Structure 1
Amino acid sequence: MADRAELQVREIQDHDLDEVIGLWREAGVSRPWNDPAADIAFARRGPHSTVLIGAREGRIVATAMVGEDGHRGWVYYVAISPELQRSGLGRAMMAAAEDWLRTRGVWKMQLLVRSDNAQAKGFYEQLGYRDTETTCFQKIIAADG
């Protein structure tokens, strides 16, 4: 089990972009229809969201994109280097995301898990997250979306 103290968590910086995108691809959290660079830029454009990175020995090994919408907090792109999965880093990044929200007065955090991702569902359930038994609807409203 990884010690959270071993992981240095901070907000993403410009020079981290390529390494973060590489980690997202390696960990399988990015999808072909999403532009990771655009998602990062969007998260960084204001004070209501960011990308947290976890580094060990100067290498980015974990991420969590976190934000709040004025009512609830959300987390996306939770990624751990494949060789370090199941070592406690996912738990550490989720705790960091929760802390980021807590400091902003947000008391409820939500996330989306693909219905066929049993491993992720089990992970989040172990952390105390519960299926709200709601359905998420989506509509692409941007012409280039």
Structure 2
Amino acid sequence: MTPVEATAGDLAGVVALWHAAGLTRPWNDPAADFARAIAVADAAVLVLRDGETIVGSVMVGDDGHRGWVYYLAVAPDRQRLGHGRTLMAAAEAWLRGRGCPKIQLMVRSGNAEALAFYERLGLERQDVVTLGRFLGSETL
């Protein structure tokens, strides 16, 4: 299986996968995230299929300075078969193809399993703090 770029027709399957893998949060709209990623040239959702079934996905984006990885998911019944490694390799290749010098991703601090997975792939913890704010009607 080789990852390929998702299309609009993959939305339901990818969002269902993200839910099954426990990646969604109430404050994020995964369908909107998917739609934004496939609508622009500097982002994509890569999917891994077994026949017509989406068994894995990863969202990747180039912010003009670094490459970012989001929503790496493998169907629970397909985990520990190398699919996550395949998806990360595809994400890195996508970013290299755009000249990104560095890949970054965020993992919730309590997700020891994900942290161990990424460390096995050679990613290192960075000495940074991520700050954020939801954008609404408030102004600075």
TM-score by length of 1: 0.91
Q: Please tell me whether residue 26 in structure 1 is matched to residue 20 in structure 2.
A: yes
Rounded to whole Å, the distance in 1 between the matches of 2:137 and 2:16 is 27
Deviations 1:69-113 (A, max 9, x none): 111000000000001111100000000000000111112000000
The answer as to whether partners of 2:60 and 2:67 remain within 8 angstroms in 1 is yes
2:6 maps to a residue whose letter is I
Deviation at residue 44 of structure 1 after TM alignment: 1.8
Q: How does 1:1-145 map to 2 (within 5 A)?
A: 7-143=1-137
Structure 1 unmatched ranges of 5 or more: 1-6
Comparing 8-17 and 121-130, the one that deviates more:
8-17
Q: Identity over the aligned pairs, expressed in percent? A: 48
Between the aligned partners of 1:71 and 1:14, the Cα distance in structure 2 is 27
Aligned residue pairs total 138
Give 3-state SS (helix, strand or coil) of 2:40's partner: coil
Deviation of residue 47 (structure 1)? 0.6
Q: CA RMSD in A?
A: 1.2
Structure 1 runs (4+) deviating above 2 angstroms are: 141-144
Contact kept, 8 Å, 2:48 with 2:57, in 1: the verdict is yes
Deviates more, 1:49-58 or 1:70-79: 49-58
